[in-house]
Structures are given as C-alpha cells and as structure tokens.
Chain A
Amino acid sequence: MNLTPLYNPLPSLWVSFQISENAFKVAKKVIRQTQAQNVECQLALLKYQRHLLNHTQFPTQDNIEGLIQQSEKDNKDLFILGFWATFERFVRDYLQEKGTALQKSMQPPTLADSFYQHLYKEVEYWKPAEILDFLKESLFTTVGGKNLIGIAKQILEYRDWVAHGKNPRKLPSATYLKPKIVYETLDEIVNTLLQYYP
C-alpha cells in the first residue's frame, strides 16, 4: 500500500471555483452589446465582439444570458459535489494512514499485517455520516466542534440530494448552500485533522 504524505487539497479547488465564476462573469460581459456614440467605433466594437465569440456556442444560441445563468447554478452544485468528494477522499486517506499505528503496535506481526490490510480496504466502505459521527465523538467534542460537524452533515445531505437528481419530494435540510460556506467548513475540519498528523 502506497501512503503519500497528506496535505489539505481544498484550497486549490476553491481557487478553481473562483476562476470558473470569474470566467462566467467575463463571458457575460463579452456577450453584452457594447454601445458607442461614433458609428465607426460601434462597427469596430461589433467586429471585435464577433472575434471574441468565434468558435463558441454563444452566437448561435437563443437566450444565451439565461443559459449562462443556469450553467452558473449547475457549476455551483458540481463544485459542492467536488468539495465533498475531495474532503471525503482526504478523510479516508487520513484514517488509512492513522491505521498504520495499529499495525505497528499489534502482536503478532502477521496478524497486524492482515488486520491492517482488511482495515485499509474496509475504510473505503465506511458511511460518510458514520465517519462524521465518530469524529464528533473524538476530535470535535466541544460545542464549536460539534457545530462544525453539524454543518458538514448538512453539506453531506445536500451532496446526496444533488447526486440523486434533486428529488423534490425529499428535500435536504438546506436547499441553498453558499459554496464559500461549504469550503470554509470542510477546510476547517481538514485543518483540525492535520493538527494531529502524522
């Protein structure tokens, strides 16, 4: 089993999210019709706009502003899924690495090796909500720690809701999540775990 040193993977994903939001903003600015007083300037502006939009879907789509707006909403949801998936991968890697301490201290070594290999595989199947529960009972026992885990559970609920097609008959406890809050919550949990690493 190859265990690589752990680091917080969330800040780089947050940068990607911000860049994608900026890209939507720039696209919306480009498709707006620019107005100039001077007719020649106006023609030059239109030509430049056509050049910018060349080889994109934009010139041929109706209601392009509405489509971009919808894409932005979908992008937010996909990034929230991405934040959760990245967080979950980190936590499983973290627990698998923590498990090596058991392997080192258990006797006899042959049992320790088999036990650890089984644990390593099983960690992949642990339910995310149950992992959050035992983190709450161990490293997040203060009121503030429990609050953090509580928010993470709401993020998980939302993640499940989006991943299963947003069933309108089975709404999560919060149907609107600001990506910044999602990022800052999961980032704080990851950084707390890293305080106890290696």
Chain B
Amino acid sequence: MIEEQQNAELKQQIYLQRVNQLHTHIINWLQDEPFILEKGNMTVQSALGDYQAARLSIQTERGETLANLFSKGTSVLLGEGLIEMEGVVGTESIIYMLKGGLIITDRYGKNRPMYKGIHENGWYWIEDSYRNKAHLMNKTLFLELITLVSDYEFDSII
C-alpha cells in the first residue's frame, strides 16, 4: 500500500513536470501571436487526495478567451497524464503517452501498436475522425487545435 502510494506520488510529480514543459513549449510557439497568456494554478482531484497543478489560459488582445488548458491528472486510459483544452466551441484532450504505446493483437492476429505514430514519449492528440492515429504535439498541431476549439483563424499556419 505504501509502495503503491509512493508510485502514485512519483507519477504525479513527473506529470506536473510534463505539464510545465508543455506550457513552456506553448509559450514559445505563441510568442509571435497577438495573444495574452495567463498562467495559474488549479486543483486536481485524485484517489490519494487533491493536489495543485499548472493551468494556462490563452486570450486575444481584446480579452476573449480562445482556450484554457486544464490539468486533469494521471488517471487516464492508455496515458500517463491528461490536459483538457477547452474553448468556446469545443474541447480536445491532450494525452501523455509513452514511446510505442500499447501493443495489441488485432482481428487478423497481427501484433501492432493500438495507436500509430507514438515514436517517443510525449503529449499526443488522438484524432476522432482517423483510425488508430496519434499525433505528437508541435507548433502546427497546437495552432490547429486552437482553431478547432475556438474557431479562431490564424493568418498563416507555418
């Protein structure tokens, strides 16, 4: 039981670091955009008790919120951690997955990763309309997700 608790606490610590790393990347990716980024804290509920994690809000210069990135903790199916990206027209999940992902045996008896494209540990977005594909988070994808959750149009996507 104590060991289980220590493992869960360690997982939480690593999760918090990974959240902060993604926030740092996002701040860099958006540095040339006319946005206001606001960092804050939020409470995450877990079986071992509540804890604090970072939250990031992305707003236009006029103060309209485009997206809030909420830290949702480590209790996510197939993942090590979850961030929910909420905007006025949609919500998308960003899941931390480990290299390779889970191997399954498919209907044809073939062993394959449950999701393709997980070539390294990182934050991934799983597309609803495409079968078995996970996308590693990068600047282009993140800008697309902002559009998806807020309808905000970027002048040009690099």
Q: B-contacting residues of A (Cβ < 8 Å)?
A: 18, 21, 25, 28-29, 32, 65, 69, 72, 140, 142-145, 147-148, 151, 154-155, 158, 168, 171, 173-178, 180-182, 184-185, 188, 191-192, 194-195
Distance from B103 Cβ to chain A, minimum over Cβ atoms (Å)? 5
**A176 to B47 CA separation, bound complex (whole angstroms):** 13
Question: Please, which residues of chain A bring their CB within 8 A of the CB of B45?
Answer: 168
Q: Which residues of A contact B106 (CB under 8 A)?
A: 144, 188, 192
> Which chain B residues border A182 with CB–CB below 8 Å?
77
Q: How far is the CB of A150 from chain B (nearest CB, A)?
A: 9
CA distance A181 to B93 in the complex (A): 12
- Enumerate 20 A-B pairs (CB-CB under 8 Å) in ascending A order: A18-B129, A21-B128, A145-B104, A147-B102, A147-B105, A147-B114, A174-B75, A176-B73, A176-B76, A177-B76, A178-B76, A178-B126, A180-B128, A181-B78, A188-B106, A191-B107, A192-B105, A194-B107, A195-B107, A195-B108
Nearest-neighbor residue (CB-CB) of A146 within chain B: B105
Q: In whole angstroms, how far apart are the Cα atoms of A173 and B88 in the complex?
A: 30
For the complex, what is the distance from the CA of A25 to the CA of B128, rounded to whole Å? 14
Q: Inside 8 A of B136's CB, which chain A residues have their CB?
A: none
Residues 13-64 of B at the A interface (beta carbon under 8 Å): 45, 47
Q: Which A-chain residue is minimally distant from B129 (CB atoms)?
A: A18
Contact of B151 among A29, A185, A191 (CB under 8 A): A29
Expressed in whole angstroms, the minimum distance between the Cβ of B128 and any Cβ of chain A is: 5
List residues of chain A with CB within 8 A of the CB of B93.
176, 178
Which of the residues A18, A148, A171, A180 comes within 8 Å of B47, measured between beta carbons?
A: A171
Do B104 and A188 touch across chains, with their CB atoms under 8 A apart?
A: yes
List the interface of chain B (C-beta within 8 A of A): 45, 47, 72-73, 75-78, 82, 86, 88-91, 93, 95, 102-108, 111-112, 114, 126, 128-129, 131-132, 151
Question: What is the chain B residue whose CB lies nearest that of A150?
Answer: B102
Docked complex Cα distance between A191 and B77 (Å): 21
A144-B103, A176-B77 known, 4 other contacts, Cβ within 8 Å? A145-B104, A148-B105, A151-B102, A188-B104
Report if A173-B75 is in contact (Cβ < 8 Å); known contacts: A28-B88, A178-B95, A188-B106.
Answer: yes
CB distance from A182 to the nearest CB of B (A): 8
Given the complex of chains A and B, what is the CA–CA distance between A178 and B89 in angstroms?
18
Are A148 and B104 closer than 8 Å at their CB atoms? Answer: yes
Chain B's closest residue to A182 (CB) is B77
Task: Please give me the residue from chain A that is nearest to B131 by CB atom.
Answer: A184
Chain B residues whose CB sits within 8 angstroms of the CB of A145 once the complex forms: 104-105
A54: min CB distance to chain B, Å: 21
Most A CB contacts (10 A, CB to CB) among B88, B131, B151 go to: B88
Known: A28-B89, A72-B91. A140 touches B76 (CB 8 A): no
**Residues of chain B lying within 8 A (CB to CB) of residue A168:** 45
